[in-house]
Structure 1
Amino acid sequence: MGSAEGSPRFSVFNGVKIIPSTPEVLMAEINTAIANLEYFDVKMADEAYKAGCAALAAGKLDEALHSLNLSLSKCPPDKTSAVAKLQSLISLTSQQLHKSPN
Protein backbone atom coordinates (compact mmCIF):
# COMPACT_ATOMS: atom_id res chain seq x y z
CA MET A 1 0.00 0.00 0.00
CA GLY A 2 1.23 3.47 -0.65
CA SER A 3 3.28 2.46 -3.67
CA ALA A 4 3.73 5.06 -6.39
CA GLU A 5 2.11 2.83 -8.99
CA GLY A 6 -1.11 2.28 -6.98
CA SER A 7 -3.96 4.71 -6.59
CA PRO A 8 -3.03 8.38 -6.20
CA ARG A 9 -2.43 9.57 -2.67
CA PHE A 10 -5.17 11.48 -0.93
CA SER A 11 -4.67 15.15 -0.22
CA VAL A 12 -7.07 17.67 1.29
CA PHE A 13 -6.36 19.82 -1.76
CA ASN A 14 -7.51 17.19 -4.30
CA GLY A 15 -10.86 18.91 -4.85
CA VAL A 16 -9.49 22.45 -4.86
CA LYS A 17 -9.45 23.93 -8.33
CA ILE A 18 -8.18 27.42 -7.56
CA ILE A 19 -7.39 29.22 -4.37
CA PRO A 20 -8.74 32.80 -4.18
CA SER A 21 -6.07 35.46 -4.37
CA THR A 22 -7.35 37.68 -1.56
CA PRO A 23 -9.42 37.28 1.60
CA GLU A 24 -12.11 39.51 0.06
CA VAL A 25 -12.48 37.17 -2.92
CA LEU A 26 -12.63 34.19 -0.58
CA MET A 27 -15.34 35.85 1.54
CA ALA A 28 -17.33 36.71 -1.58
CA GLU A 29 -17.18 33.06 -2.66
CA ILE A 30 -18.25 31.90 0.80
CA ASN A 31 -21.16 34.36 0.85
CA THR A 32 -22.26 33.20 -2.60
CA ALA A 33 -22.15 29.56 -1.50
CA ILE A 34 -24.21 30.35 1.60
CA ALA A 35 -26.76 32.30 -0.43
CA ASN A 36 -27.07 29.38 -2.84
CA LEU A 37 -27.82 27.04 0.07
CA GLU A 38 -30.50 29.27 1.55
CA TYR A 39 -33.88 28.45 0.15
CA PHE A 40 -36.81 30.77 0.60
CA ASP A 41 -40.24 29.74 -0.57
CA VAL A 42 -42.96 32.38 -0.34
CA LYS A 43 -45.76 29.90 -1.05
CA MET A 44 -44.56 27.47 1.62
CA ALA A 45 -44.12 30.36 4.08
CA ASP A 46 -47.69 31.51 3.41
CA GLU A 47 -49.12 28.00 3.82
CA ALA A 48 -47.24 27.50 7.09
CA TYR A 49 -48.45 30.91 8.31
CA LYS A 50 -52.07 29.98 7.57
CA ALA A 51 -51.61 26.62 9.33
CA GLY A 52 -50.10 28.43 12.31
CA CYS A 53 -53.02 30.84 12.51
CA ALA A 54 -55.50 27.95 12.29
CA ALA A 55 -53.65 26.11 15.05
CA LEU A 56 -53.71 29.26 17.19
CA ALA A 57 -57.46 29.57 16.67
CA ALA A 58 -57.87 25.92 17.70
CA GLY A 59 -55.73 26.45 20.81
CA LYS A 60 -52.98 24.12 19.60
CA LEU A 61 -50.03 26.23 20.72
CA ASP A 62 -47.28 23.65 20.04
CA GLU A 63 -48.51 23.12 16.50
CA ALA A 64 -48.91 26.86 15.97
CA LEU A 65 -45.38 27.57 17.16
CA HIS A 66 -43.98 24.88 14.86
CA SER A 67 -45.87 26.22 11.83
CA LEU A 68 -44.96 29.84 12.54
CA ASN A 69 -41.28 28.94 12.90
CA LEU A 70 -41.43 27.04 9.62
CA SER A 71 -43.06 30.05 8.00
CA LEU A 72 -40.32 32.32 9.32
CA SER A 73 -37.59 29.99 8.04
CA LYS A 74 -39.07 30.00 4.52
CA CYS A 75 -39.92 33.71 4.43
CA PRO A 76 -37.53 35.80 2.30
CA PRO A 77 -35.65 38.22 4.59
CA ASP A 78 -36.42 41.16 2.31
CA LYS A 79 -40.09 40.83 3.31
CA THR A 80 -39.39 42.80 6.50
CA SER A 81 -43.04 43.40 7.36
CA ALA A 82 -43.86 39.68 7.16
CA VAL A 83 -40.72 38.74 9.12
CA ALA A 84 -41.61 41.23 11.88
CA LYS A 85 -45.20 39.95 12.01
CA LEU A 86 -44.03 36.33 12.25
CA GLN A 87 -41.48 37.14 14.95
CA SER A 88 -44.17 38.91 16.95
CA LEU A 89 -46.60 35.99 16.60
CA ILE A 90 -43.88 33.51 17.54
CA SER A 91 -43.02 35.53 20.62
CA LEU A 92 -46.65 35.82 21.72
CA THR A 93 -47.32 32.13 21.06
CA SER A 94 -44.21 31.13 22.97
CA GLN A 95 -45.27 33.28 25.93
CA GLN A 96 -48.73 31.71 25.91
CA LEU A 97 -47.22 28.25 25.69
CA HIS A 98 -45.06 28.87 28.77
CA LYS A 99 -48.03 30.28 30.71
CA SER A 100 -50.42 27.45 29.94
CA PRO A 101 -50.54 24.46 32.31
CA ASN A 102 -49.37 21.21 30.75
Structure 2
Amino acid sequence: MTTTETYRIDWEGIALSVRWTPQWLGVDIDGQQVAHLELVSDDRVPLPVTETGYRSHFTSREAVEAEGGPVAYALKWLDVESLSDAWKEREAAARQMSLF
Protein backbone atom coordinates (compact mmCIF):
# COMPACT_ATOMS: atom_id res chain seq x y z
CA MET A 1 0.00 0.00 0.00
CA THR A 2 1.35 3.40 -1.01
CA THR A 3 1.08 6.08 1.66
CA THR A 4 1.28 9.79 0.86
CA GLU A 5 2.02 12.36 3.55
CA THR A 6 0.96 16.00 3.10
CA TYR A 7 2.63 18.96 4.75
CA ARG A 8 1.62 22.64 4.62
CA ILE A 9 4.46 25.15 4.45
CA ASP A 10 5.11 28.78 3.68
CA TRP A 11 8.03 29.72 1.45
CA GLU A 12 8.78 33.42 1.01
CA GLY A 13 5.13 34.26 1.70
CA ILE A 14 3.81 31.61 -0.70
CA ALA A 15 1.60 28.94 0.87
CA LEU A 16 2.00 25.47 -0.57
CA SER A 17 1.57 21.78 0.03
CA VAL A 18 4.39 19.26 -0.01
CA ARG A 19 3.11 15.78 -0.81
CA TRP A 20 5.53 12.97 -0.08
CA THR A 21 5.27 9.33 -1.09
CA PRO A 22 8.41 7.69 0.29
CA GLN A 23 7.70 4.30 -1.30
CA TRP A 24 6.31 5.02 -4.75
CA LEU A 25 4.78 1.84 -6.18
CA GLY A 26 7.30 -0.24 -4.21
CA VAL A 27 9.95 0.30 -6.90
CA ASP A 28 13.67 0.02 -6.15
CA ILE A 29 16.40 1.10 -8.57
CA ASP A 30 19.93 -0.02 -7.77
CA GLY A 31 18.88 -0.75 -4.20
CA GLN A 32 17.40 2.72 -3.69
CA GLN A 33 13.72 3.23 -2.93
CA VAL A 34 12.01 5.39 -5.59
CA ALA A 35 10.05 8.18 -3.93
CA HIS A 36 7.74 10.90 -5.22
CA LEU A 37 7.65 14.51 -4.03
CA GLU A 38 5.03 17.00 -5.20
CA LEU A 39 4.94 20.74 -4.62
CA VAL A 40 1.60 22.49 -5.13
CA SER A 41 1.25 26.19 -4.41
CA ASP A 42 -2.10 27.61 -3.36
CA ASP A 43 -3.91 29.06 -6.38
CA ARG A 44 -1.07 27.62 -8.48
CA VAL A 45 1.21 30.59 -7.84
CA PRO A 46 4.53 30.15 -9.68
CA LEU A 47 7.50 28.83 -7.72
CA PRO A 48 11.20 28.79 -8.60
CA VAL A 49 10.85 25.13 -9.62
CA THR A 50 7.66 25.55 -11.68
CA GLU A 51 5.83 28.27 -13.57
CA THR A 52 2.50 26.47 -13.11
CA GLY A 53 2.58 26.12 -9.32
CA TYR A 54 2.77 22.32 -9.55
CA ARG A 55 5.90 20.17 -9.67
CA SER A 56 6.19 16.41 -9.60
CA HIS A 57 9.65 15.09 -8.75
CA PHE A 58 10.87 11.51 -8.57
CA THR A 59 13.94 10.96 -6.46
CA SER A 60 15.31 8.45 -3.99
CA ARG A 61 13.90 8.16 -0.51
CA GLU A 62 17.45 8.27 0.79
CA ALA A 63 18.18 11.64 -0.88
CA VAL A 64 15.18 13.25 0.79
CA GLU A 65 15.95 11.71 4.17
CA ALA A 66 19.58 12.91 3.90
CA GLU A 67 18.28 16.51 3.68
CA GLY A 68 16.17 16.11 6.80
CA GLY A 69 12.89 14.93 5.28
CA PRO A 70 10.41 16.18 2.67
CA VAL A 71 9.85 19.66 4.12
CA ALA A 72 13.57 20.40 4.54
CA TYR A 73 14.24 18.99 1.06
CA ALA A 74 11.51 21.14 -0.52
CA LEU A 75 12.63 24.31 1.26
CA LYS A 76 16.26 23.79 0.24
CA TRP A 77 15.23 23.05 -3.36
CA LEU A 78 13.16 26.25 -3.50
CA ASP A 79 15.93 28.30 -1.90
CA VAL A 80 18.56 27.04 -4.35
CA GLU A 81 16.36 27.52 -7.41
CA SER A 82 15.35 31.02 -6.26
CA LEU A 83 18.95 32.10 -6.89
CA SER A 84 18.49 31.60 -10.65
CA ASP A 85 18.45 34.64 -12.93
CA ALA A 86 15.06 33.60 -14.31
CA TRP A 87 13.46 33.64 -10.85
CA LYS A 88 15.12 36.93 -9.90
CA GLU A 89 13.80 38.52 -13.12
CA ARG A 90 10.31 37.17 -12.47
CA GLU A 91 10.32 38.54 -8.92
CA ALA A 92 11.57 41.95 -10.08
CA ALA A 93 8.85 42.12 -12.74
CA ALA A 94 6.19 41.17 -10.18
CA ARG A 95 7.29 44.03 -7.91
CA GLN A 96 7.28 46.51 -10.77
CA MET A 97 4.09 48.55 -10.91
CA SER A 98 2.38 48.85 -14.24
CA LEU A 99 0.92 52.15 -15.39
CA PHE A 100 -1.52 50.40 -17.71
TM-score with structure 1 length normalisation? 0.25
Q: Give the number of the structure whose alpha-carbon radius of gyration is greater.
A: 1
Which structure is higher in strand share?
Answer: 2
